[in-house]
């Protein structure tokens, strides 16, 4: 159940990211396209790390301090990956857009589930 909850909205995010990345490739160049995909992949890596931390916390029954440390480590990892993409020459706006797309995918998933359940 935890594994499914971690990936909520990523499917919708990919459905948005691929056409947008192709449009950016045609309109602005490969750097923008790779930057967008880098941001999406960064969030995916962060969610994968969160899944690993949560499964360990649930299995071993750790306290809140360990959960807070795991969350901080995940945010630092995502920030370092995003900054690394920018330092590698990717456009910052494209990386930021990639970081934003999973949230848009989560919002779309929520609207879709709310419409089908009512």
The answer to whether 96 and 36 have CB atoms below 8 angstroms apart is no
The larger pLDDT score, comparing residue 62 to residue 38, is at 38
For residue 108, is pLDDT > 80?
yes
Q: Is residue 96 part of a domain?
A: yes
Q: Is residue 62 part of a domain?
A: yes
> What are the tens digits of pLDDT across the range 48-93?
888 888 777 777 776 677 777 888 888 999 999 999 999 999 999 9
CA distances (Å), 103 to each of 20, 54, 67, 76, in order? 15, 20, 22, 18
The larger pLDDT score, comparing residue 110 to residue 33, is at 33
Q: Is residue 115 part of a domain?
A: no
**Can you tell me the distance from the alpha carbon of 60 to that of 47, in angstroms, rounded to the nearest whole number?**
20
- pLDDT attached to residue 59: 74
Q: Which domain holds residue 89?
A: 30-109
pTM for this entry: 0.80
Provide the number of structural domains found in the chain.
1
Q: Is residue 37 part of a domain?
A: yes
Helices 92-117/10-27 angle, 10° precision: 140
Q: Is residue 114 part of a domain?
A: no
């Amino acid at each position: 159940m935890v594994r499914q909850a971690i990936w909520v909205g990523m499917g919708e995010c990919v459905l948005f990211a691929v056409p947008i990345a192709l449009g950016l490739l045609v309109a602005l160049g490969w750097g923008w396209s790779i930057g967008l995909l880098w941001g999406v992949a960064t969030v995916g890596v962060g969610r994968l790390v969160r899944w690993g931390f949560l499964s360990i916390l649930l299995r071993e029954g750790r306290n809140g301090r360990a959960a807070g440390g795991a969350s901080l480590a995940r945010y630092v990892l995502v920030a370092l990956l995003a900054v690394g993409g920018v330092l590698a020459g990717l456009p910052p706006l494209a990386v930021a857009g990639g970081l934003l797309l999973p949230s848009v995918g989560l919002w779309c998933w929520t609207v879709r589930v709310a419409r089908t359940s009512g």
